[in-house]
Amino acid sequence: MLQEFGSLAFEVFLASDLLHEICEFGNEKAVRRFYRDGAAFSSANLEERALHLDGLEERLVRAVSSESWDQVCSLIKEAAAALAAPRQKATLIEAAAPMPEDAQERLQANLQSKLRKLICKGLGYLDLSDAGTASQLEPALSFMKLLIERFRLRAQLEEALAAKQWLLLQGILTAEVTTKAEANLESSKSEGQNYLTGEDRASSKGGIYSPNVKLKSNPLVRNTGLDIVLTCSKCGLELRSAWVFEHRGKVSTLVPAHGHHTCGGRYVHTDAKIHVTLDVVSNLIMCIHGCQTRMCVKCGGSQTCTHKKQIHNCSLCFADRRKARSDAKGERQSPTR
């Protein structure tokens, strides 16, 4: 007998037809892990969920700072597993029965809103037009799309609670680049290829790496014409890259951020003197102050705070988050007057 979970998303997820659809986009092991993550979140109490979400947010900041994009994908999948399906405004307004006390607490904690914000933020760091990245995000991408599609069978997404966030997420998931990535994945499965060429995406066809057009237009990225032989850290497959990123006199060879999709390994060079850089567009955009634009305090980058520091290095922001959690915990535990 299936266990009943509090999350409406998992009521949908456990339906056999939806589970079957998701299994088509992710391997069985990934689907089972996705299920376990959602089950663990649903069975936790409110305080445990809040702490778990805070942990996800902090881990995302660290993963982005260290350019660990595989970890970013894992965090997005973990957050998506805890995501509840969109609810219709009219349904709540017309409901005669009052909202249960535990539902009111969940609403006050605003956990689902934070989850959606974290997912959108994490997806913003990734290139969803890349087939390997899209594959790493399964079954989370398919799960979120199906949640939205099921809601749209009965109402417009504009009628959902937190419609702005759901519309933003829908825009990310249904963007043209995502559609192209899915087409690439299907073509890869049918033709036995891992990565396919395209006008606006990176390619590793024939063992030769070529970055996407955004990177090619970056003034700090150039083709040297001299191939550097890289090998997969797991299976030893060779990949040649003549593309480099040069900044402040330091030159590093560009490699696919998603690594070798088939085995999950990373492309490395046996010579420690040859540095490699992941082909993440946002990490290679430098400002006039010599650092990543999004991390630059002087430029007001997206990863900086009001204290004129980078978010992951700001002790004041960290203290504020801890105080907010402590205050919220105290309010929940205080006796009702």
Q: What is the pLDDT of residue 334?
A: 63
DSSP string covering 26-59, please? S-HHHHHHHHHHHHHHHHS-HHHHHHHHHHHHHH
| Count of other CB atoms within 10 angstroms of residue 226 | 9
What confidence tens digit (pLDDT) does each residue in 48-62 have? 888 888 899 998 888
pLDDT, position 103? 59
* Average pLDDT along the chain: 76
Q: Of 9-13, 120-124, 131-135, 204-208, where does the model show the most confidence? A: 120-124
How do residues 261-285 score in pLDDT, each as one tens digit? 777 788 888 777 788 888 888 888 8
In this predicted structure, what is the pLDDT of residue 2? 36
Determine the Cα–Cα distance for residues 24 and 286; give it in Å rounded to an integer.
40
Q: Where are the domains of the chain?
A: 8-185, 193-285, 294-333
CA–CA gap between residue 255 and residue 230 (Å, rounded): 9
Q: 31-35, 201-205, 297-301: lowest mean pLDDT where?
A: 201-205
Choice between 264 and 319, residue whose per-residue pLDDT is larger: 319
Closest Cα to residue 224, out of 262, 193, 251, 203?
Answer: 251
Is the CB of residue 188 less than 8 Å from the CB of residue 195?
yes
Q: For a pLDDT cut of 70, what percent of the chain falls above it?
A: 75
Of 118 and 188, more confident = 118
Indicate if the pLDDT at residue 189 is higher than 80: no
Name the residue with higher pLDDT: 183 or 320: 320
| 211-253 pLDDT per residue, tens | 888 888 899 999 999 999 998 888 888 899 999 999 888 899 9
The two most distant CA atoms of the chain are separated, in Å, by 75
Q: Which of the four pLDDT bands, split at 50, 70 and 90, describes residue 18?
A: low
Number of H helices, E strands in the chain: 14, 5
Mean pLDDT of 12-17: 42
